[in-house]
Structure 1
Amino acid sequence: MVTATVIGMVEPPYLAATRESYDTVAVDYAELVGDALTSMPLTRAMLAAFAELVQAAGQGPVADIGCGPGHVAAHLNALGVPVFGIDLSPKMVEVARRRYSGLRFEVGSMTALDLKDGELGGVIAWYSTHHIPAEQLPTVFAEFHRTLAPGGHLLLGTHVGDEHRHLQHAYGHPVSIGSYLRPPDRITELLAEAGLVVTARLLEEPGEGQKRQHVCLLARKHGSS
């Protein structure tokens, strides 16, 4: 088996396993979540607030990191936000390109973004950072901080918990995906350590389509344009 490298370093096994798993489920995953936002009014409100803040600042495009099949990027685009997507899974990127041919989607890892310092007006990470082990999460948040312009905004959505689960079956397929759930306060602390200050949070209880609590965190990079 050929081992991939990231910035001259051997790729961690969890990244390879996550990529392979999402390559496997890409088509079925897209069918399941493609219209999910239509039944999530509070989430749409957070996305709308994020879009308004990014547009008002006018500092650059938004990167949807871990974009999956592209539905969140497409929603932001419909709100008038310049946006592109990045995902670890080439198959997910293929699905996103087919579904939303007018948008740009690229293969990449949130642990080492191929983006310039301060290039982005916004970053959105929608249910993607929970696949990152605790020891690697500061690296990811540092990448978000590096690529954001001063005063740029981050919107992070994730499941809430305090446990590590290893998924071996998902969306009708065998997979090997780690899911590292954290309390919102801990995520807020790690973001602050990276220079990203949380300005708002939305904590939703389990409900229709959701088996556990989930949180949206809106954060801002120190400084101004």
Structure 2
Amino acid sequence: MIEPDFLHTTRTGYDAWAVPYAELFANRLDDYPLDRAMLAAFAEFVRADGGGPVADLGCGPGHVTALLHSLGLTASGVDLSAEMIAIARKAHPELRFDQGSMTALPLDDGELGGILARYSIIHTPPERLPEIFAEFHRVLAPGGHLLLAFQALDDPTQLAEAFDHKVALAYRWSPGRVADLLRERGLVEVARLVREPDEDDERGFQQAHLLARKGEPAAFRRPLPTRRKNSA
């Protein structure tokens, strides 16, 4: 099978940038408490729904995979880049890391309790995004959760807008339009966080996090607690 150009370009770019990327992002989450809060909430949702295995897709050097592991999840990583996978395996030998693509994950149907795709859909051409989300739906178990993070586009009339990226052409996405695409593939939005740009971000991009669930949102399937009437 011929590999799509965007996958080849992305793999080649991250292979070349693997070492400086790993150094740059090793402790980056320390500066983003809201990002850590969304990761913690994702972990809690997965544990509450049975604690099935979680895949960190586009795991890079594995630092976020290790964080998920520290939050009590059975976490593994998948990345296009062989160089990134090599760094992740060396840094976190206790965890599993595999080379692979989000377009055809090396996973069985319904195998996962959760998926993290943190800034890993940004190099996907807009017309291929539904295919990616269909693959996420395939490998998630019923009730499984997905957490996406990406640069946000604040124009709801557009799905995506291309921007320059050091590694490969990238896209920022409309959170609302992404949520619509997820719902069309059976992944229902549970929560959304959009934080304002960093002070040193010259591009001024908002950052979005979307938490979704395969099937109905958890709030609709769990019975509300019964209130007791006050005794006379």
**Unaligned ranges ≥5, structure 2:** 154-159, 222-232
Aligned counterpart for 1:124 among listed residues 94, 116, 123: 116
- Match status 1:147 vs 2:145: no
Q: What residue number does 2:162 align with? A: 164
TM-score, normalization: structure 1? 0.89
Aligned mates of 1:140, 1:209 — CA distance in 2:
32
Aligned-pair CA distance for 1:208: 4.6
CA shift, 1:187, in A, is: 0.7
Aligned residues: 209
**Partner of 2:84 in structure 1?**
92
Distance 1:132 1:150 in 2: 25
Report 1:1-225 matches (<5 A): 9-161=1-153, 162-167=160-165, 170=166, 175=167, 177-208=168-199, 210=201, 211-222=204-215
Amino acid at match of 1:72: V
The separation in 2 between residues aligned to 1:166 and 1:13, in whole angstroms, is 17
Cα distance in 1 for residues equivalent to 2:212 and 2:170: 22
1:101 deviation in Å? 1.1
Q: Per the alignment, in what secondary structure is the counterpart of residue 86 of structure 2?
A: helix
Greater RCO, CA 8 A, separation 6+: 1
**What TM-score do you get using the length of structure 2 for normalisation?**
0.87
**CA deviation map 1:51-70 (0-9, x unaligned):** 01111111520000010111
User: For the pair shown, which has the larger CA radius of gyration, 1 or 2?
Assistant: 2
The one-letter code sitting in structure 2 at the alignment partner of 1:217 is L
Match of 2:225 in 1: none
Q: Could you give the per-residue CA deviations for residues 82-101 of structure 1, whole angstroms, max 9, x where no partner exists?
A: 10000000000001111111
Q: Which has the higher strand share?
A: 1
CA distance in 2 between partners of 1:47 and 1:181 (Å) = 20
Q: Which whole-Å CA distance do the structure 2 matches of 1:69 and 1:209 have between them? A: 24
Secondary structure of the corresponding residue to residue 131 of structure 1 = coil
5+ unaligned residues in a row in structure 1: which ranges?
1-8
| RMSD after superposition | 1.4
CA distance in 2, matches of 1:141, 1:178: 20
Residue 129 of structure 1 aligns to a residue in which SS?
A: coil
Residue 209 of structure 1, CA deviation: 5.8
Deviations 1:89-137 (A, max 9, x none): 0000001111111111000000110100000000000001011001111
> What's the CA shift string for 1:148-169, capped at 9, x where partnerless?
00010000011112411344xx
Q: Distance in 2 between matches of 1:65 and 1:145?
A: 14
Which 4+ stretches in 1 moved above 3 angstroms?
208-211
Is 1:59–1:152's contact at 8 Å kept on the other side of the alignment?
no
